[in-house]
Structure 1
Amino acid sequence: MAFPQTPVDLLAEMQSGGVWTDITADLYARGLLTIERGRPDEATTVDPGKATFELNQRGNKYSPRNPRSVNYGLIGRNTPVRFSVAGTHSYLALTGLSADIASTPDHASLDITGDIELRVEASLADWLATPTQILLGKWSAVAGQRSYRLSVQQGYAQLLWTTAGTTTVFAQTLLPSDMTRRAALRATLDVDNGAGGWTARFYWARSMDGPWTELTEGTQLSGTGTTSIHSGTTALEIAPTSGSVLPAQGRVHRAEVRNGIGGTVVANPDFRLQPAGTTSFADSAGRTWTVAGAATITNREYRFAGEISSWPPRWDVSGKDVYVPVEAAGILRRLGQGKKALSSTLRRRLPGQGPPAAYWPFEDGRDATQAASPLVGCPAMPVTGFAFGQDDSCPGSDALPAIDAAAIMQGPVPAYVSATSDYLVSFLYSIDAPPASDSVLLAITTTGTARGFVLSLTSNGFRGAAYSASGATLFDSPYLADVSGPGRWFRVDVTAKIVGADIQFAALFTEVDGTGGYGDWLTPAGTVGNVVSIDTAFGPLLDGMRFGHLGVFPGASLAVWGGSDNGYGGENATDRIRRLAAEEAVPVTTDRSSTALGAQRPNTLLGLFRECEAADGGVLYEDRERTALRYRSRASRYSQPVALTLDYSVDGHVAPPLEPVDDDQMVRNDRTVERTNGSSARAVAATGALSIQNPPAGVGIYDDSITLNLRSDSQTEPMANWLLHLGTWDEARYPTVHINLAAAPALIPDVLTLEIGDRIQIINPPEWLPPGPIDLLVEGYTEIIGHPNDWDIILNCSPAGPWSVAVLDDASLARLGDGASTLVSGINTTATSLTVATASGPLWSTSAGEYPQTITIGGEAMTLTAVSGSSSPQTFTVVRSANAVIKSHLAGAAVDTAQPMILAL
């Protein structure tokens, strides 16, 4: 039986020959579509997502190896597949390509020359993407047809305009770190701020309905001199193209253009209101919008995107029931299949810089007798006296060789053309102590006026010397510098370039992850030439020196290294994930992280991603709309708003069973964090309900240790304390929450936007459970879509409480837990005036602005409305039973805030 159409309005699509094809009619109803995403029951990392279903094979459609199949040669391993349901609102889907836009023709009302306000509500595939993405504007690649535009680029919002259609005026501000999904962006321009200049302002909100928060962390938010906006005749577009700058990719829900700040709305396309498939409509301001190219107005909400790795045919004994049981997997499955470690950061970066004319990493194995080159056409470097694979302490490199007293490297450099007539020779070295006298570090031969250049280490620095074709000395001069020491690696950049009428030779010694010394020499007019060979006999005083990553580049730019020499040490977690993903062509979306990482050492791509995830404490998971990854930082889960509220008292909101688990699965009360190749720190819960004390004072010792790739030893202690905080959170777990969407369709809009890491609450729990909302984070889910009226989602959850960290201007999250206050005398169930003593620490504030806030005594929550008294004891005025619990309390009962301040890592 074919899969029935349900109120869900399920759509199943498969790429056949690169084209999305509807396969919904071939889904078997007996094989329920089951989607699994995220991590189960507080697992450490996310498992690859998967979707299981059955396809009708009687039509022979799904046989990649059968030439009778209509899909023969069009499907196979890792064929993309996706599933979607009908959402409650439409949106404009943008591909990010220049032809795929929505536009309205130019109109006099759009030719705004004075103050202007632009608004866009969108769900971009990646708000932080490096390429500029235009959201909205009257803007063209044609000079003279540029008026105004709103765009985003690498985490910045940008407002651009021209006064005459050509020269651009520019303002920008940093986007908030949690602006990674659906959000609204608003920009205003005051062309004459009354102070002889112009002022731009930016705001953001969860939707265009507000409330708006002004963004002030930016540059060029104002300028001297008043300005104006060129009118032009180009169309208003969502979203225009300007040369190589492309439209935004993702969804646009609605937009507005206002003549004046808060002024008349002159365009306001609201794609939410348009039926799916609409190609043209008029907005309420009278502008007619047309959808072009592959842009579409649709209401599809994607529940899973993955790849089908195999097509196993199955049939019954009669041969009439032929089907294919399919399991599609998320991209993490494919990434987890590869076991080959990525090369060192230097080996990965340097071959693509320029590219070099020659490059030898010197990362060869211990038995090597030559230094191989990864460049096609570059021969191996013949060497003697090199013991390969001896030292792996350089953060950007695999193990490098040590040289002996008779070490020599000598080999040709392939012919090259330098567009700038410059050259750069670079390498790394490490030596424990300077040589007693001058010792050659590098000798090269060129076709230029200086046929030979020799760089030597001296007893107190370095020396450069150059010789003509006849052997005459062109220069020979030393420089004082600190260029040696145990455990220190130095990067050396030797350049030659024309400066004015002279040729400038220079040597820059930069300590990896540190500072450097510089020396330069000039020769009379002549030619720089090309490097043709390396001819270096190191000499006995450099015995034991480590050496590697020798490159010859046809230009003098020092940007070739790009941080790769120190393994990108200090890079934050999300920047590393994004860089690695770009290098390996893996689509990814991230928010921001401030966690600084240590050096990137050779590991698998997924292993490197996991290093970032572990060090930051975030979660790496799969995008459900495309075959891509998403990363949610630790900080993005702090004190977030509730994304979904379930009311236990309303039928269908929470399907059975709702079962709390009060166990020790996540208890860790003795935690050690060690930095990779560094120091460690330990945090222990010495007191408290989940402390290391033996029962009943605690639970005994639950210890663990973790090694994290952190930047500095100073990070280990706060990380250990944060992990201890998570491991000693004293609250029951609710591993699963079951929602029957067929029984509670009102929940569908919020459930469709729910993502991994989001916060949910269950209000009005049954009286046999503790009072108050059950506060949870979604770690993953299983979604089952089947027969008519079957649509179930089972959320995998963890407590949200430990993530409710301090927000200094929040009335409930900014209170320090007191822990030292008690009732002076007992109270009955009706008392509203309490006498409270504070044995140590600060007294409770008597400022009216601090209240109301919630306190707890013996499990009863009370609303504290006022505190009086300048010494202990103080008088509290309360409203009883804020959590439906009311009872008497004895003298000495602890009084504390309901939500003590938790300091974020």
Structure 2
Amino acid sequence: MAFPESPLGLRAELLLGGTWTDITKDVYTREPISITHGTASEGAQPDPASCSLLLNNEGGRYSPRNPLSPFYGLLGRNTPVRITVPGPESYLELDGTPGAYARTPAAAPLDITGDLDIRVEATTDWLAPGDRQLIGKWVSAAGQRSYRMAITDQVLYLWWSVTGSDSYYIRGALPALPPRAAVRGTIAYSGGTLTASLYWAATIEGPWRVMESASTTEYGTAIHASPSPLDIASPAVLNSSGIAGRVHRAEVRSGIDGTLVAAPDFRALAPGAAGFTDAAGRSWALGPTAQVDDRDGLFAGEVSEWPPRWSPGGHDAWVPVQAAGILRRLGQGRRPLQSTLRRRIPSSPGLLAYWPMEDGAGATQLYSPLDGVPPLKVAGLELASDSSLGGSAPLPTLGAVASLTATVPRTSVQGWQVEIAYRLPEMPTIQTEILRVTVGGSAIRTAHAFASTAGIRIEARDADGGTLAFATLTVPAAIADFSGIWNRLVIYVGDAGGGQTWVMCAWRNISTGVWWYVYTTVTATMGQAAAVTGTWGSATQGMAVGHLSVYTTPSTADRQPGTNTAAGADRGYARESTLDRLRRLAAEEPTLRLVTWTGDTTVGSEAMGPQGQDELMDLVAECAESDGGVLYERMDQLGLVYRDRATLYNQAPALVLDYAAGAVAPPLEPVDDDATVRNDVTVTRSGGSAGRAVIEDGPLSVRPPEEGGVGVYEEAMTLSLGSDDQAQPIAAWWAHLGTWDEARYPTVRVLLHRRPGLIPAVLGLRPGDLVRIVNPPHFTGPGPLDLLVRQIQHQPRPRAWEVNLSCTPAGPYRVGVVGDPDLGRADTDGSGLAAAVSATDTTLSVATTVGRVWTTDGAEFPFDVQFGGEVVTVHSIAGATSPQVFTVTRAVNGIRKPHPAGTDVRLATPTIVAL
């Protein structure tokens, strides 16, 4: 039986010839559609998302090599497929391209010259790089500017114009917004003072939280009324793109919280609507690549093969389709990425020539990846012998006698800059030439950089070898920084004005970024770099060199090098955050299709070590392992999401299931085994030192079972970390996770066809979200059960829809928050019941055995404590010394029983220090 028209509205589609084609009627129901995202509860990294379905192949329509198939020539390896269902509301789908926008024409109500209030509610990667327009009445041409709100590299901007040609703005760093959120910008005038403010909220109704606010009297008293239309994701702003994601609604108000003059609300529009009139009377049209839709994705992936199957008589034919997400393809047959310098330098502006010098030990000349640049000629170099530069593959070192000759392509552009990375073991005692640049088109014929223990010298010479000018830097700290470490040496020129040219030498400590400079002035033009040479003797033996590059970019007015694009890449981007590395990799490798979700921008994700020459997905996995977050595949489109560890902290439940009301289908079977127990954890920084954490007390401690523990369960891991001092806290965190004493739930089963009210929440559920089960059976222990989703499995049928969630405890991610009445309390060091209590006693005698006694401050009450599995609410405590008298309400968690003296008493929600 093929899939009939489903009450659930399920749809299966293939992207054929650039058009999504509905194939739902060809999906057999004799085997259910099975969709899986995420990883099993014990897994560290996700498997590729998968979708299996059985297609009716009558007439061979899904046989790629059948010329009679209506899809002949359209089916192939990695044909895109998606499974969708109707979501709870419609939305405006935008892909960030120039044609993805919504527009209403210019109209008098939109010409707001006084107080302005604009808002947008969207689902997007708020912290993605780039310049992205949200909403505005703004065209970049002169006279066409009024107001707009945009995001540029994780910063929210509100722009306005006074004349229509000028531009002013207020900016504020975006906090860690959830994927669906709202932002707002306001301008208010009062007595000649303009106050501009930026806000964010969960929805467009607020409550709003201030991000930035500033007042000024410098920028006029009115906003320009331009003839531009009002755009959502404007394509008319230069050097920018529109937002990519979903826009749910937007508002433009005349006055703060004032009259609505534009109110596009896409939530109730019919899917496919091409135009509409909003509640403020504005008429809206969509750009060619924008669309109104209401579909939510269960799966988006690719079909890699079409294996035809048929019955012996040919009366039945089918194709068992096994589709997979992007992880399957990204994980197959990929070469390791080149070094960060090799990847970064070729994209530098003004680059004229480049030699990585990462060639193997048997090379006889060193190639250039740039067309038209001849190989580097070298002698006396031991190739691939130094691997200590974080941003490079192994580089050569100099022998007792060594030389290098680089021929630079001719150019007529005035100005040049030559760079090379080097590590000089010791400073020469006599003046020694480090590098020479041959110059054409100028009275300067050569520029030389010399070094010795007496100083660093830059020298310009004429055609006869005579010295035109020189300068020597003798600062002891500068001399000390020239050797013993990896530096980037730069010889360059700049226009000093009046027919004068600066000839300069600079060196930058690759680790710290500290620059030193020495320069002189010559009466000559800047000329062009024609060649670079090195002729070295015993004074430079052992010096490592690499990544020689030549630019046409002259120095800036402040005598800084004209380009500094290798910064960061030199050290392999060591110490960049996990999220920054993932965003950079996504920008460098568009096939990754990765977006990020951060939980706390003030703390940041873990700092990484140097990026190695590994395969792309190994580098991504390395980030997730170091930070401890969750990597998963998107359900709505082909791509990946990384949510950092902080997004797992202190979550509100994304889905609440009432077990007593039947929201959880049987079986609900907790697993209380030792599969995830780790109580002795050692973390080693790759290339660095280690940190160790041992849990010595508690039911899962290293103590032997006869002493109340479980024995030793060791774990050792090597992680990419920015510094050695990260190792021990990370080890402690993993030991904390490995000794959390709660059960796992490999299967939480939900039958959505019986609980359709849960569909919106389930459709929004993603790996890493918190699910709360209330009123669980007493076999599981007292509730509620707070669980983190690790894997989501959908099995939709024509009239049934089963979802299985694989979960781990959320408790270890409930971390302390300073000042929070529940999460900001310090627990007792040790206390217990001083006397036995009955099941009905409402006063307890509690003795403190270690540390300070419990608080008696009335402002601190109420709070919850637990003992013997029972949670009670404490309303007051009497007595300044131990034992103290607690007045309580019993059985807060549904457990009521007598307890003997000595029963341990602890906070019900003890503060956990976040990593």
Pick the TM interval, shorter chain.
Answer: over 0.9
Q: Which moved more, 1:244-253 or 1:401-410?
A: 244-253
Matched, 1:186 2:184: yes
Q: Contact 1:363/1:548 (CA < 8 Å) preserved in 2? A: yes
**How far 1:207 sits from its partner (Å)?**
2.0
Matched, 1:799 2:797: no
Matched, 1:831 2:826: no
Matched, 1:441 2:395: no
**Counterpart residue identity of residue 46, structure 2:** V
> CA, structure 1 residues 559+221, in 2 after alignment: closer, same or farther (shift >3 Å)?
farther
**Counterpart residue identity of residue 495, structure 2:** I
* Aligned match of 2:88: 88
**How far 1:611 sits from its partner (Å)?**
1.2
* Cα distance in structure 1, aligned partners of 2:275 and 2:408: 62
Tell me the secondary structure at the aligned position of residue 348 of structure 1.
Answer: helix
**Per-residue CA shift, 1:202-241, capped at 9, x if unaligned?**
332222343333324xx86766566422233333332323
**Counterpart residue identity of residue 47, structure 2:** D
**How far 1:486 sits from its partner (Å)?**
8.0
* Cα distance in structure 1, aligned partners of 2:484 and 2:12: 58
**How far 1:449 sits from its partner (Å)?**
1.6
Tell me the secondary structure at the aligned position of residue 558 of structure 1.
Answer: coil
Identity %: 43
Aligned pairs for 1:121-160 (under 5 A) are: 121-124=121-124, 126-160=125-159
> CA, structure 1 residues 461+490, in 2 after alignment: closer, same or farther (shift >3 Å)?
farther
**How far 1:112 sits from its partner (Å)?**
2.0
Q: Contact 1:493/1:558 (CA < 8 Å) preserved in 2? A: no
Q: Contact 1:199/1:221 (CA < 8 Å) preserved in 2? A: yes
**Counterpart residue identity of residue 198, structure 2:** F
Q: 2:687 aligns with which of 677, 684, 696?
A: 677
**How far 1:62 sits from its partner (Å)?**
3.0
* Aligned match of 1:30: 30
**Counterpart residue identity of residue 356, structure 1:** L
Q: 1:497 aligns with which of 494, 513, 517?
A: 494
Matched, 1:589 2:595: yes
* Aligned match of 1:214: 210
What is the alpha-carbon root mean square deviation over aligned residues?
2.0
Matched, 1:663 2:673: yes
**Counterpart residue identity of residue 849, structure 2:** A
**Counterpart residue identity of residue 2, structure 2:** A
**Counterpart residue identity of residue 183, structure 2:** L
* Cα distance in structure 1, aligned partners of 2:36 and 2:411: 54
**How far 1:136 sits from its partner (Å)?**
2.1
Matched, 1:201 2:194: no
Tell me the secondary structure at the aligned position of residue 426 of structure 1.
Answer: strand
**Counterpart residue identity of residue 479, structure 2:** D
Task: State the TM-score, normalizing by the size of structure 1.
Answer: 0.95
Matched, 1:463 2:457: yes
Tell me the secondary structure at the aligned position of residue 145 of structure 2.
Answer: coil
**Counterpart residue identity of residue 195, structure 2:** T
* Cα distance in structure 1, aligned partners of 2:700 and 2:732: 15
* Aligned match of 1:332: 327
* Aligned match of 2:861: 851
Tell me the secondary structure at the aligned position of residue 647 of structure 2.
Answer: helix
* Aligned match of 2:57: 57
Q: 1:346 aligns with which of 322, 341, 349?
A: 341
**Counterpart residue identity of residue 762, structure 1:** I
> CA, structure 1 residues 75+143, in 2 after alignment: closer, same or farther (shift >3 Å)?
farther
* Aligned match of 1:531: 529
Q: Contact 1:89/1:273 (CA < 8 Å) preserved in 2? A: yes
**Counterpart residue identity of residue 478, structure 1:** T
> CA, structure 1 residues 476+138, in 2 after alignment: closer, same or farther (shift >3 Å)?
closer
* Aligned match of 1:512: 510
* Cα distance in structure 2, aligned partners of 1:60 and 1:635: 51
* Aligned match of 1:427: 420
**Per-residue CA shift, 1:790-844, capped at 9, x if unaligned?**
2111111110000000122332211222141222222222222223222333332
Q: Which moved more, 1:466-475 or 1:843-852?
A: 843-852
* Aligned match of 2:167: 168
> CA, structure 1 residues 301+223, in 2 after alignment: closer, same or farther (shift >3 Å)?
farther
Matched, 1:237 2:231: yes
* Cα distance in structure 1, aligned partners of 2:117 and 2:221: 15
* Cα distance in structure 2, aligned partners of 1:221 and 1:736: 55
Q: 1:580 aligns with which of 578, 585, 589?
A: 585
Q: Contact 1:127/1:154 (CA < 8 Å) preserved in 2? A: no
* Cα distance in structure 2, aligned partners of 1:559 and 1:433: 26
**Per-residue CA shift, 1:245-291, capped at 9, x if unaligned?**
23222111122222222222333222212222333333333333333
Tell me the secondary structure at the aligned position of residue 550 of structure 1.
Answer: strand
> CA, structure 1 residues 546+291, in 2 after alignment: closer, same or farther (shift >3 Å)?
closer
Tell me the secondary structure at the aligned position of residue 312 of structure 1.
Answer: coil
**How far 1:487 sits from its partner (Å)?**
5.8
* Cα distance in structure 2, aligned partners of 1:362 and 1:38: 42
Tell me the secondary structure at the aligned position of residue 523 of structure 2.
Answer: coil
Matched, 1:570 2:575: yes
Aligned pairs for 1:313-328 (under 5 A) are: 313-328=308-323
Matched, 1:714 2:714: no
Aligned pairs for 1:401-416 (under 5 A) are: 401-416=396-411
* Aligned match of 1:813: 823
* Aligned match of 2:557: none
Aligned pairs for 1:382-421 (under 5 A) are: 382-418=377-413, 421=414
Q: Which moved more, 1:456-465 or 1:396-405?
A: 456-465
Contiguous gaps of at least 5 residues in structure 2: 555-561, 599-603
* Aligned match of 1:767: 778
Matched, 1:645 2:656: yes
* Cα distance in structure 1, aligned partners of 2:302 and 2:480: 53
Q: 1:271 aligns with which of 266, 269, 283?
A: 266
Q: Contact 2:350/2:553 (CA < 8 Å) preserved in 1? A: no
**How far 1:316 sits from its partner (Å)?**
1.9
Tell me the secondary structure at the aligned position of residue 719 of structure 1.
Answer: helix
> CA, structure 1 residues 209+14, in 2 after alignment: closer, same or farther (shift >3 Å)?
same
> CA, structure 1 residues 417+886, in 2 after alignment: closer, same or farther (shift >3 Å)?
farther
**How far 1:106 sits from its partner (Å)?**
3.4
* Cα distance in structure 2, aligned partners of 1:360 and 1:570: 26
Matched, 1:723 2:721: no
**How far 1:306 sits from its partner (Å)?**
1.1
> CA, structure 1 residues 257+322, in 2 after alignment: closer, same or farther (shift >3 Å)?
same
> CA, structure 1 residues 655+221, in 2 after alignment: closer, same or farther (shift >3 Å)?
farther
* Aligned match of 2:365: 370
Aligned length: 895
Q: Contact 1:120/1:136 (CA < 8 Å) preserved in 2? A: yes
Q: Contact 2:573/2:610 (CA < 8 Å) preserved in 1? A: yes
* Aligned match of 1:291: 286
